[in-house]
């Protein structure tokens, strides 16, 4: 199934963190936290904490950092 979301892409993976850096807050996603991978409309992938993926979906990927 490839449902389309018009604004901010969709979560493509959710699992435990692997210590990689969150694209929302630049802090590592620890193994005891949830790691959300999101595919943007331009096919790039972003990795977030759960709290950060919610912000990203509100503001969209084009804000950058
Ligand atoms: Zn984060």
For residue 5, the model assigns a pLDDT of: 46
Is a pLDDT exceeding 70 seen at residue 21?
yes
CA distances from 61 to 21, 33, 42, 53, 65 (A): 16, 22, 10, 10, 9
Is a pLDDT exceeding 70 seen at residue 9?
no
Residues 6+ apart with CB under 8 A from 49: 17, 22, 24, 25, 27, 29, 33, 34, 35, 36
Do residues 12 and 45 touch, judged by C-beta distance below 8 A? Answer: yes
For residue 41, the model assigns a pLDDT of: 78
What residues pair up with 10 in beta bridges, in sequence order? 39
Residue 51 Cα to ligand 1 middle (Å)? 7
Residue 3 Cα to ligand 1 middle (Å)? 25
């Amino acid at each position: 199934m490839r449902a389309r979301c018009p604004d901010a892409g969709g979560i493509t993976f959710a699992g435990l963190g692997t210590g990689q850096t969150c694209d929302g807050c630049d802090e590592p996603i620890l193994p005891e936290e949830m790691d959300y991978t999101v595919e943007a409309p331009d096919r790039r992938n972003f990795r977030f904490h759960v709290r950060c993926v919610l912000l990203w979906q509100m503001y969209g990927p084009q804000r950058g950092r």
